[in-house]
Structure 1
Amino acid sequence: MIITGLSGAGRRTAAHAMEDLGWYVVDNLPPSLLPNLVDLARGKGIGKLGVVLDVRSRTLFEQLGSVFAELTEQGLDIEVLYLEADDAAIVKRQESTRRPLPLQGDGRLMDGIEKERAMLSTLRASADLVVDTTNINVHQLAARVAHAYGGDEGNRIRVAVMSFGFKNGLPLDADLVLDVRFLPNPHWIPELRPQTGLSEAVSSYVLAQPGAEDFLTRLEGLFETMAPGYIREGKRQVTVAIGCTGGKHRSTAMSEEFGRRLRARDVPVTVMHRDLGKE
């Protein structure tokens, strides 16, 4: 497993989460040493190896393509986890650490971010899983990693269902984005306004609305159609984002219900609520 992405996007959190799952993780390895590490891991019987590779290796990073080709020829299964965040989030995180970016040099912080995005663009395009950490915390990221890499599910697809609010922006790492703002908003019912879609009262109200059942049934059918194709294309993790205005009532209730239906189909699924608790 290759863990990579932008500085400040959560590589260290992802690496720690994978260590907690029983992976042997090496941080900041020069790409040219990757074949040696793989040989060492094989000799020691290490079956789950994670390596953090990023632009800290500077010019050595350019060797990554040829190294991947060499390992692929050896029959090694390589999967890439790519972490990113928007510029504002990266700037805020880097300013809190008071450390310059690896490629910043004498330039501005934004110069370093731009250079990193350019250098990593090819790797991002080939990543098996891209996670945008702009609007999630370290605990939510750890949960995403645990869901994606916590067990061997063979050819089974794993699904992350995420509720969100459109007013807080689209989740950029979603494979499928759905809009449930066609349902009546519990926000306008005084007794339901302070509650969330996790409560029985709000959930019952949302799921009883015209169109809610039909939406969920059709979404189940859509997933059933798409899942075999994803597996044929080698995609094992899918993120389904369900949004309403603020991410508090409708999207939360519908995400929980869709997750329940997927579990009933024996699909490995985790449900998270990106914007729950935000004003």
Structure 2
Amino acid sequence: MPDLGSNEVVEPDEAGTDLVVVTGLSGGGRSTVARALENVGFYVVDNLPQALMLEMAELAFAAGGAARRTAMVLDVRSRAFSTDLAGAVRALKERGFSPRVVFVDADDEVLIRRFESVRRSHPLQGDGRLADGIAAERKLLEEARDQADVIIDTSHLNVNQLRRRVEELFGGEDSRKLRITVLSFGFKYGLPPDADYVLDARFLPNPFWVPELREHTGLEEGVSSYVLGQEGATDFVSTYAQLIAATAPGFEREGKRYLTVAIGCTGGKHRSVAIAEELTSRLSGMRLSAHTSHRDLGRE
């Protein structure tokens, strides 16, 4: 291990230092994200003041070994020292590091329910209401959210689903390649806020109106064959697979590491699920790193 007390300046090696910065709204699931990152081999530093991020990154690089994969988790307590997350991330980049910023978000109503279920007040609510604290924190984090590499909306995710999402994003394959999440959803439950592309599968006939298919899902052969057998379905998948494959190298050159392609139908049970599975298969066949996630499957 290098001597941390020496005067020698160690230049960061971007290819060998993997830094993740986790921030987001209180109650959004940062602790679950931190545990999931530990599960895939990251050294996790919780409640790190933003002013110490550069120092922590340099220590991680100098230490080598397992510390080369370090995640720094920031919350309102760490922001007591500084609120300039954007400046701290910029300082890391100027020093030669390539931090990935993960922002954990959730709907206000969901956050309120979570705080009420554990009978805790929001760190920023003071003498006001829970909603006041959430609004104040959301305002404080606007710039951080805008600059995040990946936004994980946990409104409709349980703990295990959130853990799997993090492990899919940060475990196993080369974490510096563009990783594509093909996300099925139901329009009646709202648009995914973290989507880069939104595709609409509602032009296809709905299996809901076929009695023998209604209770089944797009993961099952009968529904999948019905959806993909409709006129225009395979052309729809092929067209978007080619578009994503054509743009992926440009996204990688620009430093984007996560791409979310959201495919919606009415309820997120039949058409969008089948199309998402087929699109993921096509992208994987093009040697792109793609996986599926079904946000609303099972909600009906």
For Structure 1 versus Structure 2, the TM-score category normalised by the shorter chain is: over 0.9
Q: Deviation of residue 154 (structure 1)?
A: 6.3
Corresponding position: 1:198 with 2:205: no
Aligned partners of 2:49 and 2:79 also within 8 Å: no
Structure 1 length-normalised TM: 0.95
Aligned partners of 2:27 and 2:114 also within 8 Å: yes
In structure 2, how many angstroms separate the alpha carbons of the residues matched to 1:60 and 1:198?
Answer: 48
Give the 3-state SS of the residue equivalent to 2:141 in structure 1: helix
Distance change >3 Å, CA 266–CA 69, structure 1 → 2: closer
Aligned partners of 1:147 and 1:269 also within 8 Å: no
Corresponding position: 1:53 with 2:85: no
Distance change >3 Å, CA 65–CA 258, structure 1 → 2: closer
1:154-193 aligned at under 5 Å gives the runs 156-193=177-214
Partner residue of 1:21?
40
- Which consecutive aligned stretches of 4+ in structure 1 deviate over 6 angstroms post-superposition? none
Over aligned residues, Cα RMSD in angstroms? 1.6
Give the 3-state SS of the residue equivalent to 2:83 in structure 1: helix
Partner residue of 2:249?
228
Identity %: 52
Structure 2 length-normalised TM: 0.88
Corresponding position: 1:9 with 2:50: no
Partner residue of 2:162?
141
Q: Deviation of residue 59 (structure 1)?
A: 3.2
Give the 3-state SS of the residue equivalent to 1:55 in structure 2: coil
Aligned partners of 1:82 and 1:129 also within 8 Å: yes
Partner residue of 2:283?
262
Alignment partner for residue 267 of structure 2, among 240, 246, 257?
246
In structure 2, how many angstroms separate the alpha carbons of the residues matched to 1:67 and 1:216?
Answer: 41
Distance change >3 Å, CA 69–CA 260, structure 1 → 2: closer
Partner residue of 1:36?
55
Corresponding position: 1:219 with 2:240: yes
In structure 2, how many angstroms separate the alpha carbons of the residues matched to 1:14 and 1:114?
Answer: 22
Corresponding position: 1:117 with 2:138: yes
Distance change >3 Å, CA 206–CA 100, structure 1 → 2: same
Aligned partners of 2:85 and 2:144 also within 8 Å: no
Q: Deviations over 1:118-171 (max 9, x none)?
A: 111111111111111111222222222112211452663211011111111111
Distance change >3 Å, CA 105–CA 261, structure 1 → 2: same
Q: Which runs of 5+ in 1 are unaligned?
A: none
How many residues of Structure 1 are paired with residues of Structure 2 in the alignment?
279
Letter in 2 for 1:179: D
Letter in 1 for 2:23: T
In structure 2, how many angstroms separate the alpha carbons of the residues matched to 1:99 and 1:57?
Answer: 19
Q: Deviation of residue 268 (structure 1)?
A: 1.3
In structure 2, how many angstroms separate the alpha carbons of the residues matched to 1:76 and 1:201?
Answer: 49
Aligned partners of 1:5 and 1:84 also within 8 Å: yes
Q: Which runs of 5+ in 2 are unaligned?
A: 1-19
Aligned partners of 2:40 and 2:171 also within 8 Å: yes
Give the 3-state SS of the residue equivalent to 1:62 in structure 2: coil
Q: Which moved more, 1:59-68 or 1:156-165?
A: 59-68
